[in-house]
Structure 1
Amino acid sequence: MSPLPHPHSRRQVLKAATSVAAAGALPIPFTSQAAAPTAAGPRPGVRATFSNPVVWQDFADVDIIRVGDTYYLSASTMHYSPGAPILRSYNLVDWEFAGHSVPELDFGPAYDLNGGRAYVKGIWASSLNYRPSNRTFYWIGCIEFSKSYIYTASRVEGPWTRLTTIDNAYYDCGLLIDDDDTMYVSYGNTEISVAQLSADGKTQVRAQQVFTTPSSVGTLEGSRFYKVGGNYYIFLTRPANGQYILKSTGGPFGPYTMQQVLLDLPGPIPGGGVPHQGGLVETQNGDWYYMAFVDAYPGGRVPAMAPITWNSGGWPVLKTVDGAWGTSYPAPNLPARQVTPLVGVDTFDGTSLKPQWEWNHNPDTGRFSVSNGLTLHTATVTDDLYSARNTLTHRIQGPTSTATVVLDHAHMKDGDRAGLAVLRNSSAWIGIKREGGRARVCMVDGITMDSNWNTSGTGTEEAGAAVPGTRIWLRAHADIRPGSGRPVTFSYSTDGRTFSTLGPTFAMGNAWQFFMGHRYAVFNHATQALGGSVKVERFELSAP
């Protein structure tokens, strides 16, 4: 049976598009056997159960590790900057934003929206790990099938700095730090290879192909590399409906044998796909879990978790519920600690953006500031939202959520456009148009890209109204349950209490080819001349 066409078979998709256009903590090592679940039930303060998806936001190609009693999850971000976000948890269920491993996408001018664009490029499946010997976090990933980059930090919050660039494309890689401190990278598509890095992690010492995927399986990619009980394991996905694992008892370079972990397993989200890819993690109690993701467009790819045991042959076995990935399981027997929720209010206090925010491409850092509010100066003269710099994005919370922005538009200039968008390759927005010295609130849709990610429509105003004063509340309510044509409704208020719907319902698409899901986005760009600005006083993400 051949694999399904899917975003994780991305090599051909991007090549075609390109041709056209907690510090100091020591981790507890893996153990040879998974401990049995605690029979006495959860301790006080511990959840009894958890529901899937664990996080209903777009975090694809997840890697997951534990350092001491803290868990970290890394994900793909494509063209969003900063890249490779890191979530933190203490119980594998409640997560908070912690930072980003790639502070800037400095891979060429297209990532600055300068002379080109980098949509569907950038940060793909990559790997995060922690090296106890120097108490350092490592992130590794390849960019555009060209070079591989390694970034390091002593704390996940940063600062992260680039350690090295390696002239080998470690496609869909997994980083293993062995018991003797040697670093290995597994990578590849169908043909799986292993590379050994130098002691300082800056160069490649050796690389060797270790496995060829049987034609009966098709494509395998999305490597994660582990050592468990003295055996080496490469965890691989069959996009987008299967998961397989390779085992070597003879060392990191094999030989490897293969077993199937899951195939065509019903997932926990109605209308969503098969959980796959992702990684394995062992708790400090010796229990094991698999954090995969589920294709759930229009929202994106969202993490789901299930328990793992190990059989007598040394192979992982997924715990299912009635032949499916469970919609709920007993929660890990781990103590709860307070984390910052993934929903809530941001008043842009302090002097920097919080880690839940990512720009569409790299921002012009001289044209925004944070100080008791976010000031966005116009950074681009364009009528194309996809070409406008300094568009700030936030993941949508599922299954439904509402984003509300408070905007002071007193300093907009004629021709400026500012507001709140639902952003993807098909987009719409509600916001302010400044023309003839007057401000109007408008709803615009028909903002589209073609299959090569070139702009095919810059938008049509569907409704508008004059608004008094210089302060406005803009709101978008999005339903991102899997399916085609899921609705977004836009509304506005001039007092923060009474909201009026504006324009027709915007229908989101659910094709996978753009990879990233729809996002809320705050923007301000000029169509005539630079010089205007808006102040974003408040952003609230709420969910029922």
Structure 2
Amino acid sequence: MRFSTVVSAALLGLVYASPLGVNSVDKRAATFTNPILWEDYPDLEVIRVGDVFYYTSSTFAFSPGAPILKSYDLVNWTPVTHSVPTLNFGSEYSLTNSTNRAYVKGIWASSLRYRESTDTFYWLGCIASSKSYLWTASNTGAKSNNGEVTNWNWKAAATIDKCYYDNGLLIDDDDTIYVAYGSTNIMVAQLNKDGTAEVKSQTVYQGSTYIEGSRMYKINGYYYIFVTKPAIDEWVLKSKSPWGPYEMKVLVENIKGPLDNAGAAHQGGIVSTKDGNWYYIAFLDSFPGGRIPVAAPITWSSDGWPLLVKDSTGAWGKTYPFPVNTTKTVPPPTGVDTFKSTSLSHEWEWNHNPDTSAYKLFGGASGGMQLSTATVTNDLYSARNTLTHRIIGPKSSGTFHLDITSLTDGDRAGAALFRDHSAYIGIHRENTTNRLVYVNNLSIDVVNGWKTNAIGTVAASLTLPSSTKQVWLRVKADITPAFNTATQRTTTFWYSLDGKTWTQLGGAFAMTNDWQFFTGFRYAVFNFATKALGGKVVMKSFEMEKWE
């Protein structure tokens, strides 16, 4: 790290030719444009191993949990693994019945760190304010391959009978493992050599203002704990010892973000490039799309305090100099998935743990994924094996190509806009007839423990020709931020019988901008039974693309 009282002209020069769009891989441009990834990846932590940056995020009851994305430049990101392959937190995370569900529980702000001495990644998270779970991936190859992982092999390493709330791990220079955690009062614990049990813990900061979201670092002999005052500020605690005493300064205070109708940039953490430049990666409350990441450079005062580089108006910059000049790239978030692998790509997450016997990827040249009915219910929120995909903003569509020939009487299959308020376009199989329906106003209740309020209303329908074997279903969403406004962004639902000619079914569905469900709206594909198990649908492809 390079302490300096003067921000370089390069960092303050925020106007460049050819600014990058979100997730462009054109390294010839001089700047990037915020947000760095217009998808719902909140409560983030970013680390660097060699030449590779890794990013972890909250997933609540979605499974697998705690995705890890990688990047070579801090701007272009792709998901590569999940730290928690199965939510091993209790029966409610498997959605086996309608009264035992885990909505808005599960993985909140958690922490990811790499231990070079053992070539091991550590993930630690507190679940349901009760116990903390440790998952590790060892012998990954990152140590000998400049940060590139050749073998993600996540294992459940320990359950600690204590909640390290909103924790931030630190592996010190001598390999000691610390974890900062808590709210209002911030604590630090020392863990044993494997991170599987606590050695000691003490309060290091006593406050009167609610703060959370700890991230812990050691830089140039100082220990830092970054915390957020939700949902607008970021504070920094600094000490010469992990046990304090800590001084406190404000890094950002209700700073205007780079997007209109979105919240202030806050939470997240800091990371350095290989050449010693530092960046703060935070997120914006950007509902209805969720919470999305933004990046900005930081410099350092002569006495070791971080300083955010702002634009000329004192706001978080819309553009900044590109962090890393490299020819290495990652795949973009848009494109087509034809399911030619025997395992799902890490863009996908199930609503709760899936029934693994009720789905199958065919792999090979033909590709495709078969979803068998796994639940008899009339409630989408209680149906197992609903498969979800984040929506890229500000406007995009998710198109599902489905083979419906193996549906049986009473089956419900289709493509949804999924959140606590949902809608879908799909097939209701009635005897031997396939009825194409648009169903809206499905909801679960924030006040009543996320129980189902409404199973939805058929707002439009038509009968498909008896010869119909395949349908293409499209969910077209506008998640342009409308947080803290009365504006309701809308989603429309479309179908095609040939993949070329498209017709809208029903009217536009108005999305909510509230935050209590925490995650943003997602695309989803589902197949559940209302009468008896046995029906199947094959998803031949999924395509996500932007539109204006």
TM-score, length-normalised on structure 2? 0.91
d(CA) in 2 for partners of 1:165 and 1:529? Answer: 38
Answer yes or no: is the 8 Å Cα contact 2:59–2:65 preserved in 1: yes
Answer yes or no: is the 8 Å Cα contact 2:10–2:321 preserved in 1: no
Deviations 1:478-507 (A, max 9, x none): 000122421000010001110000011000
How far residue 37 of structure 1 moved from its aligned partner, in angstroms, is 6.0
Counterpart in the other structure of 2:23: none
Once the two structures are superposed, the pairs formed by residues 304-383 of structure 1 within 5 Å of their partners are 304-321=294-311, 322-371=313-362, 372-383=367-378
Aligned CA distance change for structure 1 residues 39 and 327 (closer, same or farther; 3 Å)? closer
Secondary structure of the residue aligned to 2:381 is helix
d(CA) in 1 for partners of 2:520 and 2:156? Answer: 28
d(CA) in 2 for partners of 1:277 and 1:39? Answer: 26
How far residue 39 of structure 1 moved from its aligned partner, in angstroms, is 6.0
Deviations 1:84-106 (A, max 9, x none): 00110000011111110000112
Answer yes or no: is the 8 Å Cα contact 1:173–1:222 preserved in 2: yes
Q: What one-letter code is carried by the residue in structure 1 that aligns with 2:249?
A: Q
Deviations 1:102-156 (A, max 9, x none): 0011211111112400000000000001001101111011101111111111336
d(CA) in 1 for partners of 2:331 and 2:42? Answer: 21
Answer yes or no: is the 8 Å Cα contact 1:174–1:224 preserved in 2: yes
Aligned CA distance change for structure 1 residues 225 and 124 (closer, same or farther; 3 Å)? same
Counterpart in the other structure of 2:187: 193
Answer yes or no: is the 8 Å Cα contact 1:441–1:466 preserved in 2: yes
Answer yes or no: is the 8 Å Cα contact 2:279–2:298 preserved in 1: yes
Once the two structures are superposed, the pairs formed by residues 461-540 of structure 1 within 5 Å of their partners are 461-468=458-465, 469-483=468-482, 484-540=487-543
Counterpart in the other structure of 1:131: 115
d(CA) in 2 for partners of 1:96 and 1:429? Answer: 27
Aligned CA distance change for structure 1 residues 32 and 198 (closer, same or farther; 3 Å)? farther
Counterpart in the other structure of 1:295: 285
Matched, 1:142 2:126: yes
Candidates 35, 39, 48, aligned match of 1:53: 35
Aligned length: 509
Answer yes or no: is the 8 Å Cα contact 2:2–2:276 preserved in 1: no
How far residue 46 of structure 1 moved from its aligned partner, in angstroms, is 4.9
Q: What one-letter code is carried by the residue in structure 2 that aligns with 1:539?
A: F
How far residue 350 of structure 1 moved from its aligned partner, in angstroms, is 1.5
How far residue 158 of structure 1 moved from its aligned partner, in angstroms, is 2.0
How far residue 401 of structure 1 moved from its aligned partner, in angstroms, is 0.3
Matched, 1:99 2:81: yes
Secondary structure of the residue aligned to 1:133 is helix
Consecutive unaligned residues in structure 1, runs of 5 or more: 1-30
d(CA) in 2 for partners of 1:114 and 1:381? Answer: 11
Matched, 1:285 2:279: no
d(CA) in 2 for partners of 1:93 and 1:32? Answer: 22
Counterpart in the other structure of 2:452: 455
Matched, 1:230 2:230: no
d(CA) in 1 for partners of 2:323 and 2:541? Answer: 35
Counterpart in the other structure of 1:180: 174
Matched, 1:406 2:401: yes
Question: Percent identity at matched positions?
Answer: 53
Deviations 1:329-366 (A, max 9, x none): 11113313121111110001111100100000000000
How far residue 45 of structure 1 moved from its aligned partner, in angstroms, is 4.1
d(CA) in 1 for partners of 2:102 and 2:3? Answer: 44
How far residue 411 of structure 1 moved from its aligned partner, in angstroms, is 0.2
Answer yes or no: is the 8 Å Cα contact 1:46–1:336 preserved in 2: no
d(CA) in 2 for partners of 1:302 and 1:331? Answer: 19
Q: What one-letter code is carried by the residue in structure 2 that aligns with 1:190?
A: T
Q: What one-letter code is carried by the residue in structure 1 that aligns with 2:357?
A: G
How far residue 33 of structure 1 moved from its aligned partner, in angstroms, is 3.6
d(CA) in 1 for partners of 2:348 and 2:175? Answer: 34
d(CA) in 2 for partners of 1:120 and 1:63? Answer: 20
Deviations 1:267-293 (A, max 9, x none): 111100000000100000110000000
Answer yes or no: is the 8 Å Cα contact 2:3–2:302 preserved in 1: no
Deviations 1:24-57 (A, max 9, x none): xxxxxxx364798696999x94541111110000
Secondary structure of the residue aligned to 1:110 is helix
Matched, 1:121 2:105: yes
d(CA) in 2 for partners of 1:228 and 1:341? Answer: 33
Q: What one-letter code is carried by the residue in structure 1 that aligns with 2:117?
A: S
Secondary structure of the residue aligned to 1:181 is coil
d(CA) in 2 for partners of 1:336 and 1:191? Answer: 44
d(CA) in 1 for partners of 2:327 and 2:281? Answer: 19
Counterpart in the other structure of 2:392: 397
How far residue 162 of structure 1 moved from its aligned partner, in angstroms, is 1.1
Counterpart in the other structure of 1:10: none
Answer yes or no: is the 8 Å Cα contact 1:75–1:85 preserved in 2: yes
d(CA) in 1 for partners of 2:163 and 2:122? Answer: 17
Answer yes or no: is the 8 Å Cα contact 2:72–2:324 preserved in 1: no
Please report the RMSD computed on the Cα atoms of aligned residues, expressed in angstroms: 1.6
Counterpart in the other structure of 2:248: 258
How far residue 446 of structure 1 moved from its aligned partner, in angstroms, is 1.1
Counterpart in the other structure of 1:18: none
Counterpart in the other structure of 1:108: 90
Secondary structure of the residue aligned to 1:188 is strand
Answer yes or no: is the 8 Å Cα contact 1:32–1:229 preserved in 2: no
Counterpart in the other structure of 1:417: 412
d(CA) in 2 for partners of 1:75 and 1:46? Answer: 29
d(CA) in 2 for partners of 1:268 and 1:38? Answer: 21
d(CA) in 1 for partners of 2:133 and 2:3? Answer: 34
TM-score, length-normalised on structure 1? 0.91
d(CA) in 1 for partners of 2:328 and 2:8? Answer: 21
Q: What one-letter code is carried by the residue in structure 2 that aligns with 1:93?
A: V
